[in-house]
Structure 1
Amino acid sequence: MDSAEIQKLVALEDRHWWYRERRALLGRHLRRLAGPAGTALDIGAAGGGNTRVLQQHGWKPVAVEYGHDGATAAKQRKLPTVRGDGRRLPIKSGSIDLVLAFDVLEHIDDDEGVVAEMNRVLRPGGSALITVPCDMKLWSAHDVAVGHLRRYTRDSLRTAIENGGLHIERLWSWNVLLRPAAATVRKRSTSSDLRKMNPIVNAALSAVIVSERFLPVQSLPGVSLMVQAVRGK
């Protein structure tokens, strides 16, 4: 993701419906993880929005960010931050309890190599939480603008994670209810859809995405895929 998109993300993520609900989703899954909070790695952290969620839930996180702008923003938020490449993490093997990679794999040519690095730094039995955009039918100018190389199917995501050495515990869809709207908007898109929104529209979209918490839609096609995986013992 280029500098301009990173700067937009940092400026908007605290209020934007998509990022707010994704942080809420992360918080719910952190509460469900077995065992006490420990060390965590947030790969592709950008400005550290998700790193802050890890801190709030008692984890000791490090934000790993490749780009200068994202790493600078994370440091300005007083978050432990290192510049690093997901394919060559500057982290000791077997030293991390939880790895987070939210919308990272689609940006990197060697996605299996990134998963292998996640597997390497995790302690035996450690967990990984991963999200990616799904379905090439939704490919648009937005994907090009934010530096995506691909969108995933369930099968292609499963292959990348398993070939990287992690064991999938759960794989599900997210942003299901708004998929028809996303497909329509992106057919007409000419750039990234990350922009400041009308507060009323932002609230309406937030209400829709929040309702997914209570509906059995996670097996249906969505805009994103999410995975909980583990390193074998």
Structure 2
Amino acid sequence: MELDQDYFWDLHEGDFWHKNKDRVLMKFIDGKEVLDVAAGTGSFSIKLAKEGKNVTYIDYSKKYYEIAKKRGKTLPITFLCTDITKHEFKKKFDCVVLSAFLEHVKDDSELLNKIHNILKPGGKIVLLTSAYQWLYSNFDKNVGHYRRYNKSELQGQMQKAGFKVNVLKYWDVIGLPVLIVSRFFG
């Protein structure tokens, strides 16, 4: 089934979960130079640019890249269509945003090390990922998740990559009952 190119954009812009997620993530964004990883159709990159950030968008999907580039063409966004783990960045960033992507990466340690190395001194990562490994289900497999994280596992991975963890908390526990049903009956 081929989806209209506006489907994901409209979903992101009109959906309560996405709007709330973006609002929460924005609270943690610091600095001027921001890298938005696995940025999809560019909705969050565009919000960042409209807030005065110099944004570098990166996604390996050519389709999403084309949509994002078209929508953000008048904003201060550098668009990259490539695999972040293979790209050699020419600059460092104040902040790297990694939203709903780490769980899709087979070698999460490699990615976290890469991000740590492209941050300026004092820079930070703003990370949102799937929680509760015990909820890992067919849904996760079908959407390309390799894992889910609990707080101690994620903190350990972050520290191993050289990060100092300032804030680590669960978010969107309202959706937990749906995940539980999916895990055991889905």
**TM-score interval (norm. to shorter):** 0.7 to 0.9
Instruction: Answer yes or no: is 1:51 the counterpart of 2:25.
Output: no
Q: Distance in 1 between matches of 2:7 and 2:133?
A: 25
- CA offset digits 1:83-128 (Å, max 9, x no partner): 12132333125x2111111111111111111111111111111111
- Which one scores higher on RCO, CA 8 angstroms, separation ≥ 6? 1
Q: Distance in 2 between matches of 1:45 and 1:9?
A: 12
Instruction: Answer yes or no: is 1:67 the counterpart of 2:61.
Output: yes
Alignment of 1:159-198 (within 5 A): 159-185=156-182, 187-189=184-186
Alignment of 1:218-233 (within 5 A): none
Change beyond 3 A, Cα 1:159–1:185: same
Identity %: 23
Q: Distance in 1 between matches of 2:176 and 2:99?
A: 19
How far has the Cα of 1:8 moved from its partner? 5.0
Of residues 7-16 and 98-107 in structure 1, the stretch that sits farther from structure 2 once superposed is 7-16
Checking the alignment, whether the CA contact within 8 Å between 1:42 and 1:101 is kept in structure 2 is yes
Checking the alignment, whether the CA contact within 8 Å between 1:88 and 1:117 is kept in structure 2 is no
Alignment of 1:1-16 (within 5 A): 9-16=8-15
Q: Distance in 1 between matches of 2:89 and 2:141?
A: 30
Instruction: Answer yes or no: is 1:90 the counterpart of 2:88.
Output: yes
Task: Identify unmatched segments of 5+ residues in structure 2.
Answer: none
Aligned partner of 1:222 in structure 2 is none
- CA offset digits 1:184-221 (Å, max 9, x no partner): 255444xxxxxxxxxxxxxxxxxxxxxxxxxxxxxxxx
Aligned partner of 1:19 in structure 2 is 18
Where 2:88 maps in the other structure, the secondary structure is coil
Where 2:67 maps in the other structure, the secondary structure is helix
Checking the alignment, whether the CA contact within 8 Å between 1:45 and 1:51 is kept in structure 2 is yes
Alignment of 1:22-37 (within 5 A): 22-30=21-29, 33=30, 37=31
Checking the alignment, whether the CA contact within 8 Å between 1:119 and 1:165 is kept in structure 2 is yes
- Normalising by structure 2, we get a TM-score of 0.86
Q: In the alignment, residue 20 of structure 1 is paired with which amino acid?
A: K
Alignment of 1:111-150 (within 5 A): 111-150=108-147
How far has the Cα of 1:143 moved from its partner? 1.3
- Normalising by structure 1, we get a TM-score of 0.70
Q: In the alignment, residue 19 of structure 1 is paired with which amino acid?
A: H
Checking the alignment, whether the CA contact within 8 Å between 1:10 and 1:46 is kept in structure 2 is no
Root-mean-square deviation (CA), in Å?
2.2
How far has the Cα of 1:53 moved from its partner? 2.2
Aligned partner of 2:71 in structure 1 is 77
How far has the Cα of 1:9 moved from its partner? 3.2
Checking the alignment, whether the CA contact within 8 Å between 1:89 and 1:117 is kept in structure 2 is no
Q: In the alignment, residue 16 of structure 1 is paired with which amino acid?
A: D
